[in-house]
Structure 1
Amino acid sequence: MSEKVTRIDPGPRLSEASVYGDRMYLSGMIPEDTSLDIAGQVRQALAEIDALLARGGSDRSRILSAVIWLADIADFAALNAVWDAWVVPGQTPARATVQARLNDPRMKVEIMVVAAR
């Protein structure tokens, strides 16, 4: 029998996170306040990641990989300034950052991570 999959805040379309064995798979985290600048939006998304990781028994030092979508790649340096202050030195995950059209034109960033528990 395989291990149980646990879903955090499951909805009709997606769960905020899925936990399987020693891994957590988070959905893309977005800012709640889209009136903020890129730094504020990144901080909000990272705070959502912190909270969700804690609920699943993990934390930012255990993030294995991250995918970041920016509405405008010109925000790359501002994203990195917030990201660099947030990640745990020596525990930085594998990461990809790309420009993409996000589902709300006011949204500047979406971040998805996979973490160990």
Structure 2
Amino acid sequence: MAEGAKRFGNLPRFSSIVVHDNTVYLAGQVSQLVDGDITAQSEDVFAKIDALLDEAGCSRDSIISAQIWLADMDDYAAMNEAWDKWLDGRAKPVRVCVEARMAKPHYKIEVLAIAILNDA
């Protein structure tokens, strides 16, 4: 176990947030919107990330890295529109976006983010 790590939202298989050495690691976030299109699911996932970052003591301004998985790369442009709106005027993190088969058929997007605590 990592000494000094703080864990939040402990679920049966993983923590939602781990904070270690002023770095905030979020578990991958998916949308539960079964009928939501990529825009709705992206906005839902980004809102979840905002809530988790707030719980950890920082904000989307602190994100330094994001990994995005899309069920279908045909959704790339629409996801980017939601992404650009979400990060409008903010420093952009490094990012990767790839296509992947998702754990559930209605998942269109999953996002993992790493941030730095604001007071670091």
TM range (shorter): over 0.9
1:40 equivalenced with 2:40 (yes/no): yes
Alignment of 1:18-97 (within 5 A): 18-97=18-97
Amino acid at match of 1:75: D
My pick for the range that moved more, 10-19 or 45-54, is 10-19
**Number of aligned pairs?**
116
> Distance between the aligned counterparts of 1:56 and 1:87, measured in 2?
19
TM-superposed deviation, 1:34? 2.2
Regions of 4+ moved over 3 Å: none
Amino acid at match of 2:86: W
> Distance between the aligned counterparts of 2:90 and 2:8, measured in 1?
28
TM-score by length of structure 2 reads 0.92
Task: Give secondary structure in 1 for the equivalent of 2:34.
Answer: coil
Task: Give secondary structure in 2 for the equivalent of 1:40.
Answer: helix
Instruction: Give the 3 Å change call, closer, same or farther, for CA 72–107 of structure 1 in structure 2.
Output: same
Contact 1:3 1:21 in 2 (8 A): no
Structure 2 portions without partners, runs of 5+: none
TM-score by length of structure 1 reads 0.95
Contact 2:32 2:107 in 1 (8 A): no
> Distance between the aligned counterparts of 1:8 and 1:61, measured in 2?
20
Task: Give secondary structure in 2 for the equivalent of 1:7.
Answer: strand
TM-superposed deviation, 1:32? 1.8
My pick for the range that moved more, 83-92 or 60-69, is 83-92
Contact 1:60 1:88 in 2 (8 A): no
RMSD between aligned residues:
1.2
> Distance between the aligned counterparts of 2:88 and 2:5, measured in 1?
28
Q: Percent identity?
A: 38
Contact 1:38 1:108 in 2 (8 A): yes
Amino acid at match of 1:94: V
TM-superposed deviation, 1:3? 5.2
